[in-house]
Structures are given as C-alpha cells and as structure tokens.
Amino acid sequence: MRIPRWIKIPVPVAAVVLLAGLTLPAAAAPAGRPATAGPVFPAFVHLPADQARHSGAMFEWWYTVGHVSAHGHRFGYEVTLSDSAGVPSANIAITDQTTGRYYQHVAVYQPAQVSMSTQRLDVRMPSAMLSGPMGSMSLTATLPGGAISMRLRDAGSALYPGGTGLIPFLSGQSYYYSLPSLATTGTLTVAGQRYRVSGQSWLDRQWGTWDWAKLDKWTWMAIQLRGGEQLNLWDMYGADGETRYATVLYPDGHQSIVPVIPLARDASGIWTSPATGQQYRTHWIVRIPGLGTQLDVRAFPRQQEVMASFPGVTPSLFEGAATVTGMAGGRPVSGQAYVEQLGHWN
C-alpha cells in the first residue's frame, strides 16, 4: 500500500512510514493512562496544549458531533465554533433520528463578543461554549427550538489525519487531529422536551492557513464502528484535482493511511434543499480495498443542511447524522457516522 502523492511527509518520517507498512504511532495517552505501545515518529500537534486557540492561524475550528440516546430515542448533534479570518461563528444543529425532525442555527459574531483562550481549551460565544480539560470537557449550545449541554470525556487515543497531524490543504497547510472516542453524558432539549442522554462524540480540530478559492467540493466522514476501527475519511475536489483517503484508528491505538474508492461513484439518494437549491447525496458506499472494507452509510433524515455556515465561502453545507453497516476485514460491522458535504453533489 502506498502513501497518496499529495501527503508530503518530511523525508525522515516518510522513511519510517514506508518501513512500517503505513502503521502509524498511537497518540500520546492522557495523563494517568499508559500509552499504547507502537512505533514512534514526530507528530506536529501536541495534546492537550493544542486544544487551545492558535493566534497565528487564519482559520480555526472546534467541530464536535455526537450520537446520543435516551431510552431508545436517538439523536445526533453538531456544534462548530470557528474563527474564519477574524470572523467568529457558531454552527449548531440537532437531529432527532427517531422522529426525523431537524433543527439548525448559525450565528456570526463580532470579535468583541467572543473569547478564545490561547492557554487552554476555553472557547465562548453567545450561543455556545466549549471548555475544560480533555478528561472533562463541557459543551453547551442553544438554538431556536433546542439546547445542548454535554460532558465529554476523552476515552481513547487521538487520531492524526495523514499520520502526523499536518497535511497540505487547499494550497496551504492544516494542523489537524481528532478525538473520536469521547464518552458523552448530559441533556438535550428539543421541541420543549428535555432528555437525559448518553452516547459517544467526536471532536475534530483544524487550524492553519489555506485558500478557500481552491475548493470545489468535499465529502468528509467521521465513522465510528462499534468495538472496532474509527475512520477520518476525505474525498475532496479542488484546483489540484481529487484527494481521497482515510486515516484509520484501530482499537489498540495504532493507525494507518489507506486509499479510498471515489465516493461519488456509488453515492445516491440526491436531496435538493428547498431553502437553498443545493444538492447533496445521502447514501454512500465506502470502499477501501486495501482493508477488505465496504461500508453502507445512510443519512437520516435526508434534510440535514446547515445554512450560512462559512461566511464568504459557501451559503450552506450538509451535516448529516448517519448509520453504518457492512463488512470490514471479512467480518460484519455496524456503527455510526457524521457526514459533511460542501458544494454541489448532483
């Protein structure tokens, strides 16, 4: 298996990756938990320090999605706190997967209305807040028709997209890590009813400098297989062509980078937003030949569009809670996913 050409890993690191057959190091373990044994080479992000804001980054976000339930009533949620070239914003959404109802809200703020600590994780906006140590993060958000109040506890290894947590991105570069195993408890309020919920969340962190004008469209997936692998998957079209790969985190903490068959080839279920006219796919077949993996990913409900998300970039995007079934390494698997789509997928 080879590293995709676009992943420009420094030469000493690349040599280690090739010799290891694309087996990548486990993330640093949180305090009090022993690190998973495995090969070690430099990562370009450092936890928990990089939970904090990076003052030199042009773009930065804290993207949290989760799947929670209360006595069989299932929900998905999304809270994204971002700073886009000095324009702070909060994207908040709740998906009621039992009733099929969807609630979303986007707010753009003046810099004076927000605070983002450069010393620790503490991001506060009028409609949402994320703060605290990795073992006990607090996430709150409000939107018309709902509210989110969660406690997030890091319960696994970090995932470093591209292997080192530094990837080329839209003619620039992005520092990047995911915390895909956040044990989640709290309350979720929708349509005037308050639920005490529990489940699992995923925190995606990116910061850096890049050129949004180079982007055509992308599909991104946070895939969590029950008792198994967790995948951070990209299929992005830009000025340099198509980039598609997955970084896979295994239960023992090691990681690998694997090529992915283009998602559009087997995607279906086109949904056209009545609000924006934007078209999205809602059903995907994820094929990873090198791992013997084929996953069926279905978003429900179909209408999970967040409007006015990135100021000056795109009027809307799809943030879809989804279910996963299929085969991985010759065994049947199931799980959950969040799927993000930017651009038209007609």
pLDDT of residue 308: 65
Residue 28: closest CA among 218, 206, 159: 159
* CA angle, residues 131, 133, 137, in degrees to nearest 5: 50
CATH number of this structure's domain 62-342, picked from the four choices 1.20.58.100, 1.10.287.370, 3.40.50.1010, 2.40.370.10: 2.40.370.10
pLDDT of residue 5: 31
pLDDT of residue 259: 96
Domains of the chain, residue spans: 62-342
CA distance 89 to 94: 17
Residue by residue, DSSP assigns 173-210 as EEEEEEEEEEEEEEEEEETTEEEEEEEEEEEEEEEEE-
145: left (phi over 0), alpha (psi -120 to 50) or beta: left
Residue by residue, DSSP assigns 250-310 as -TTS-EEEEE---GGGG-B--EE-TTT--EE--EEEEEEGGGTEEEEEEESSS--EEEEEE
pTM for the model stands at 0.86
Residue 177: closest CA among 58, 278, 60: 60
pLDDT of residue 86: 92
**Going by DSSP bridges, is the β-strand pair 293-299/283-288 parallel, antiparallel, or unpaired?**
antiparallel
* pLDDT tens for the chain, residues 1 to 346: 223 333 333 322 332 232 233 333 333 333 333 333 333 446 799 999 999 999 889 999 999 999 999 999 999 999 999 999 999 999 999 999 999 999 999 999 999 999 999 999 999 999 999 999 999 999 999 999 899 999 999 999 999 998 899 999 999 999 999 999 999 999 999 989 999 999 999 999 999 999 988 999 999 999 999 988 999 999 999 988 999 999 999 999 999 999 999 998 889 999 999 988 888 999 999 999 999 999 999 999 999 999 865 544 456 899 999 999 999 988 999 999 999 998 877 6
Residue 270: closest CA among 203, 344, 217: 344
CB 121 within 8 A of CB 130: yes
Number of CB atoms found within 10 A of residue 112's CB: 7
pLDDT of residue 346: 66
**215-219 — which CB contacts under 8 Å span 24+ positions?**
215/170, 215/313, 215/342, 215/343, 216/343, 217/341, 217/342, 217/343, 217/344, 217/345, 218/340, 218/341, 218/342, 218/343, 219/263, 219/264, 219/267, 219/281, 219/284, 219/339, 219/340, 219/341, 219/345
pLDDT of residue 315: 64
